[in-house]
Structure 1
Amino acid sequence: MKAAVPAFGGKAAHYSLLARTEGLPVRKAFAIPAFYYVQFMEENGFFARVDALLADPTFKEKPEVRDARLKELRAEMKKAPVNAELQALLKAKLAADYPGLSMRFRTSTNSEDLEGFPCAGCYESHTGDPSDWEDVLEAIRKTWASVWLFRTFEEREYNSIPHKSVVMALLVHHNFPDEEANGVALTANPFDPSGLQPGFYVNVQAGGDAEVVHPPPGITSDQFIYEFHQPGLPLTYLSHSNLVGAGQTVLTSAQVFELGKALALIHERFSPAYGPRAGHTGWYAMDVEFKFDGEPGEPPRLSVKQARPHPGRGR
């Protein structure tokens, strides 16, 4: 899995393992290798543009200049042509496997979702509708351009990551337009690093525009510890969503159990890479994103979006 990161990025590499885990619900997906990002940057002269920026003393010394110049670079990337061969391959793939569906083009760089450097929120994913091909190209270009967001550039600079060493593959699947719930979870109890009271930490919100991790002011979500491996499956709520009715919860008991089974599978599946089965000691958890989504008239079902090693794991 780790060997795939240079070509397909951390997110897609991890997703491939999720997709090959029996009993784990994930959406059918494919990856556009980082080769095509490099090709796009080279064919349009953007790497040379980056070289010039990095050599400019004013760019190095003044944050406001970096912000402005990076914005200019992203604007040019969003208008630049995309290789015709890639477009032909992608059109054929979407027509054959995803007819009539809008698609999510998700960032998968070689500098995110990694052990010790998750860089969560560094990059921006976008949705494109193949019925309007320019919409697809716009989504791809905007996603690639997020490599050069100011906040992302500064994060790499702080962590001494060479900027041109970062390349972006794309993880592609049908998007979730109207999910009933979305959330994040840790496959271990962050309040118990000793491991004496194991459990899953879950933060989940009802479907809509409210983010889970950074909600608007005044918005709360369901947060709970789920002791999935203990008798009776104890569930301890730390907070409740104010977007559902009083006394209600975002997830039903059956959905919480479905999520617990998935988190247990993920925790064990990635242990040979990041946990005890890799010889590591101390606290270990995978950071998981998930949705509950259903077609009209169907009950919402769990879909795991991604899993990455949590940076707080002890050694």
Structure 2
Amino acid sequence: MQPWTSAPVSALLSAVALTACGDSSAVNAAGAGGAPGADTGYLTELVTRDDYTSLAGEGAEVKYLTIVDGREPPPVFAGAACLFQNTDDYPYHLQFLRTFPEYAALAPERYADMVLRRASRVMWGGGLKLYPATPHPLTGAAGVLAYTVYSEAAPDELLTVGDIVQADRRLKGCSPFAERFLVFSPDGSAQSAAVQAIAGELVAAGVALVDPDTLLSGLSAATYSEGEAYGYLKIVDGAAAGSAGPRDVLVIDAAPSDLGLVAGLVTRQPQSLASHLNLRLREKGIPSAAVPGVFDNSVLRALAHGLVHLTARGAHVEIEPARLEDAEAFWRARRPPLGDPAADLEVATPAALASLGSADVAAFGTKAANLGELSRILPEQNRVDGFAIPFRAYADFMERRGFNAEVAALLADPRVFTDADTKQRRLSELRGRMRAAEHLPEFGEALEAAVRQAYGAAGLVTRLRFRSSTNAEDLPGLSGAGLYDSRSGCLADDLDSDTLGPSACLSQEHEAYLRAELERRELELAEHPDRSHLLPIIEDLEQDLTEEKSALLAVRRVWASLWNERAFDDRAYYGIDHTKVFMGVAVHPTFVGERLEAVALTGLEPDAPEPLVRVVSQVGEVGVAEPLDPTASPEILTFRRAAGGTPSEVTLVSPSSLAAGGARLWSDAALNELAGLLFVVQDHFAASVYPGLVPLSLDVEVDVTMDGRTVIKQARPYTP
């Protein structure tokens, strides 16, 4: 921080003695805890972390002014005790004060009289700055908000114990969010020398004192991937990363092996330098580090959910509040050049999957188009049979039900891009209203016609799966895996005259399976009450047995998932215009009671004589991509391609924790069939769908159904 002495004061102020700056809006939202609000350029309190970060200027500092005991407060305070200025707009007090009519022509010398000189002082002035690595001098807890109090350097102008105690009391009263970790730090060498003589009195008076030479912004750390990042600080106290996305700086206990794309990673526990996770992060220049006391840091806790700048270098990590313009500039510079996706809204009617191919991506989405490609090359028993709903249906619904206007308002709200809580709330509200809205009458008619055409009258009582198929997923460089939702529904439940369950599509076989599964899960929970992941599984099973399953609602839920938070973040990261993304829907019968679920990755180790295939599998409906049971570990199996098109070098890397005796889930015969199907898919997609991707790796989803069929239900490019 800049030392202030008598001679340099005027020189420094003269350097900023420009024409008066007009009123400028504070970045914070109107109605925030530190009102008066957005159009004033200041707040009177720092009630929340958002209040602080909304005002922070370069270096994450916030300038303040506060009243002096026994002096008439200047009219700019208007009854308030403190003014915290928008330091991004007004780096200096003089600029800020000139925005008030009474100080429009304020001269530097007059400012010095009002703020720096004891005889004429009517305001205390200084700056506040967060230092995450500095321990609190009284509590020892990591993280402080240090404040300075400006004065001139002449001996009779230096701060007294009473001066500092007064400023300390005032700032603690005006800064509730930081009261526990607010500390005083002398400003300049003259103040520092003077404060040494009165340090004991200050501590006795309750003032926490920090030597400016000991202020540390960097945390002691072990860095595994060096770099910097901007993102929203997401602190997860548990073991699961949850919905962390590419705009999140994730702070978690240990590094998750299945972590998706994040802005940065900080763990409490040490990580493995050679892990696949850190390999992926280093390839993308994403910072990753371990900080032992990260969960005990008061400053980081205060910054949670806010926009931050993370830097990891060697043994030091810095996390500080960030400005949106800096973050956006960083994101633009790092953004992969994907461009906006194409959309064809002229196609208005559903189409059979078997009639689609890669040329239909712009009208139906990549998932539906690739299912069409699979229909061309796979035997009937190894593919899904269904149809696809085009983008046009989603576009008509959004426009005619007024949601395009709501989306425009959401995207125009700057808080959506600076505050994670606001973003989460606004997106959740939009999804809720989309789910609750009425369908367009003609869509219901078109859906019924498509179901009848695909399955006959039996289709009305067939439980169908409605799967997302956007123009911003399953693309080279952007898989979109797990971003959007798939739902099940029964059209007969929409066509009957009531909303009473159970579903008309609940067959005896399905009911028997659900009841057996419900009983098994309830017994498991009774024996292991700590397995909280079982509660939503049991709730879903109960609903499947007792409630209707509206197909129209299922479609609206899939459409609404276009505005899932993680999907929103992914599009923002890749620079995709949200309004250019549309949701198609792939439809086919729901698989019930699967024997196995698997994800196969093809084309790995492309430089080897024969590329590697990795198959990750799990028994039943536990799942692999989004497992219902987070405590269950899947089977991992690898193989290569022999000359005759059969699997060779088959290796069981690790067994499923749910497999009896650790036995392999795939028999030799079943693995031979799976390998043959995967080789056919790999060859076709390399030659006809993605000829420009060399070498090509695919992410292929597989189900082994209740009746023993091996079904390929999705294929998309995979980036190792």
State the TM-score, normalized to the length of structure 2. Answer: 0.41
Do the aligned partners of 1:274 and 1:284 also contact (CA within 8 Å) in 2?
A: no
Work out the CA distance in 1 between the residues paired with 2:476 and 2:655.
31
In 2: Cα distance, 1:217 partner to 1:87 partner: 38
Match of 1:39 among 374, 389, 396: 396
Q: 2:413 maps to what in 1?
A: 56
1:224 aligned to which of 637, 651, 658: 637
Aligned pair partner of 1:238 in 653, 662, 668: 653
Report if aligned partners of 2:365, 2:583 keep a CA contact under 8 Å in 1. Answer: yes
Corresponding residue for 1:19? 375
Residue 620 of structure 2 corresponds to 207
Partner of 2:569: 154
- Aligned residues of 2:699 and 2:715 also touching (Cα < 8 A): yes
Please state if 1:293 is matched with 2:654.
Answer: no
Contact 1:182 1:291 survives alignment (8 Å): yes
| Correspondence 1:60-71 to 2 at 5 A | 60-71=417-428
CA contact (8 A) 2:386 2:454 kept: no
Alignment of 1:159-198 (within 5 A): 159-188=574-603, 190=604, 192-198=605-611
CA distance in 2, matches of 1:44, 1:142: 15
Q: For 2:696, which of 256, 260, 284 is the aligned residue?
A: 284
For 2:715, which of 307, 310, 315 is the aligned residue?
A: 307
State yes or no: 1:117 paired with 2:439.
no
Q: Distance in 1 between matches of 2:420 and 2:411?
A: 13
Q: Distance in 1 between matches of 2:625 and 2:551?
A: 28
- Contact 1:124 1:143 survives alignment (8 Å): yes
For 2:679, the equivalent position in structure 1 comes to: 264
State the partner residue of 1:128: 489
Scaled by the length of structure 1, what TM-score is found?
0.90
Give the drift of 1:234. Answer: 2.6
**1:253: Cα distance to partner?**
1.3
Instruction: Give the alignment partner of residue 385 of structure 2, picking from 28, 33, 51.
Output: 28
Q: CA RMSD in A?
A: 1.8
Whole-angstrom distance in 2 between the partners of 1:166 and 1:252: 42
Q: Is contact 1:274–1:309 with CA below 8 Å preserved after alignment? A: no
Rounded to whole Å, the distance in 2 between the matches of 1:194 and 1:274 is 22
Whether contact under 8 Å (1:107, 1:124) holds in the other structure is: yes
The alpha-carbon deviation at position 27 of structure 1 amounts to 1.5
C-alpha offsets along residues 153-186 of structure 1, whole Å, 9 cap, x if unaligned?
1111111111011101100000112111011001
Q: Deviations over 1:253-292 (max 9, x none)?
A: 11111110110001100112565xx2554x3211100100
Q: In the comparison of the two structures, how many residue pairs are matched?
A: 302
Per-residue CA shift, 1:24-68, capped at 9, x if unaligned? 720211100010000110011101101011111222321210110
1:87-102 matches, within 5 Å, as 87-98=444-455, 99=458, 100-102=461-463
1:132 is matched by which residue type in structure 2?
A: D
1:199–1:229 Cα contact (<8 Å) kept: no
- Separation (CA, whole Å) in 1 of partners of 2:464 and 2:379: 24
Whole-angstrom CA distance in 2 between matches of 1:199 and 1:217:
27
SS at match of 1:179: coil
Cα offset for 1:238?
Answer: 0.8
Partner-residue secondary structure (3-state), 1:272 = helix
Q: Tell me the secondary structure at the aligned position of residue 64 of structure 1.
A: helix
CA distance in 2, matches of 1:229, 1:145: 45
2-side partners of 1:294 and 1:103: how far apart? 16
Task: Tell me how far apart the structure 2 counterparts of residues 22 and 105 of structure 1 sit (CA, whole Å).
Answer: 21
Tell me the SS of whatever aligns to 1:233: strand
Report if aligned partners of 2:704, 2:710 keep a CA contact under 8 Å in 1: yes
Does the 8 A contact of 1:274 with 1:280 survive in 2? no
Q: Greater CA deviation, 239-248 or 67-76? A: 239-248
How far is the alpha carbon of 1:248 from its aligned partner?
Answer: 2.0
Q: Tell me: CA distance 1:26–1:67, structure 2 relative to 1, closer, same or farther (3 Å).
A: same
1:6, CA displacement in angstroms?
A: 1.4
Return the offset for 1:101: 0.9
1:252 equivalent in alignment to 2:613:
no
Q: Which runs of 5+ in 1 are unaligned?
A: none
Deviation at 1:102, TM superposition (A): 0.4
